[in-house]
Every structure is written in C-alpha cells, then in structure tokens.
Amino acid sequence: MKNQLFIFLCAALLACGGSGDKPKPTTTMESDPGTAMSKNDDGLGIGEIKEVKLNDPLDVDMVKRGQAISDMKCAACHRYTDMRVVGPGWKGVTERRKPEWIMNMITNVEVMLEQDETARKLLEECLTRMPNQNLSIGDARDVLEFMYAIDTDQAPK
C-alpha cells in the first residue's frame, strides 16, 4: 500500500496539473547569441516540416488513422479535451499552434524541446519531456488531421 501511495504521489508531482488553462499566445522572443534559436520565431517550429497543406473538408480516413495512432501512442499523456494530464490537452491546439509546429513537435521532439521557445515553455509547465514516439511524417500528418477533427467537432465518437 505504501508503494502504491508513493507511486501515486510521484506521478502527481510529474503531471502538469490544472485543467482548461490555455497557454498564452506565442510571441517572438530575443534569444542569446549562443543558442540555436532563431531571433524571429516564425511559429513553424524546428524540423523538416516547412509547409503543411490542410484538407478542407477533413479527410475521414486520415482522421480515423490519426485517432488510432493517438489512442495507442498519445492518449496516456494527452486528453482530447482541454484537460491537462502529463501533457497539455489537445482541444484548441490547432487554434494556438501552426500545423507545421505541431508536426515538428511530433516528429522532432528532442530538438524542439531544446531549441524551440514555445516547446521549452511547455516543458517548464509540464515538467515531463515528451517522449519520441518515432512517428513517420505520414503518421504525424494523420494525427494532425485528427487534431483538426477534435477542434471542429468532427472527431469520431
């Protein structure tokens, strides 16, 4: 019983806590000359994703694949609502972040956490590094489509 209580307390300390708190909009930050961060943060993040063509209307097959991937690899730390668990909730993320930033965070998480100011602030809030789930760019694009479905209330129930 003591072990279970200890594990619960450790997990509680690592979690972000709170719910419904939306991060403040990203602003351009001046960085130290010794860092690799750009002085002009374009909101795209750091990685090979420079442009994302969004679907209008959403691609139903991509949404379903994205949900399956999310359920398997992301749902332990993220909720599809605005509730924070270990990581921030996903509701509204497509309104707060550019699609390129989201995909770079998914596919290039280590570099993003080291060099992207927004990702670093999220790490400070959550106190837990997002693990690299080794998603392909195609899988990350499917997850992004699912995120848009969440934000437009088109996600499968």
pTM for the whole structure = 0.74
Q: How far apart are CA 56 and CA 118, in angstroms?
A: 27
* pLDDT for 21 beyond 70: no
pLDDT in tens, 70-112: 999 999 999 999 999 999 999 999 999 999 999 999 999 999 9
Read off φ and ψ for residue 84, nearest 5 degrees.
Answer: -85, 140
Would you identify the CATH topology of the domain 2-18+42-151? Cytochrome Bc1 Complex; Chain D, domain 2 (1.10.760)
From 75, 116, 94, 74, select the one nearest 22 (Cα to Cα).
94
The Cα 66–Cα 147 span in angstroms is 8
* Residues 80-96 as b or e (16 or more Cβ within 10 Å = b): beebbbbbbbbbbbbeb
**pLDDT tens digits along 37-78:** 444 579 999 999 999 999 999 999 999 999 999 999 999 999
Reply yes or no on whether the pLDDT at 128 is more than 80.
Answer: yes
Domain residue extents for the chain: 2-18+42-151
Cα distance between residue 67 and residue 148, in whole Å = 11
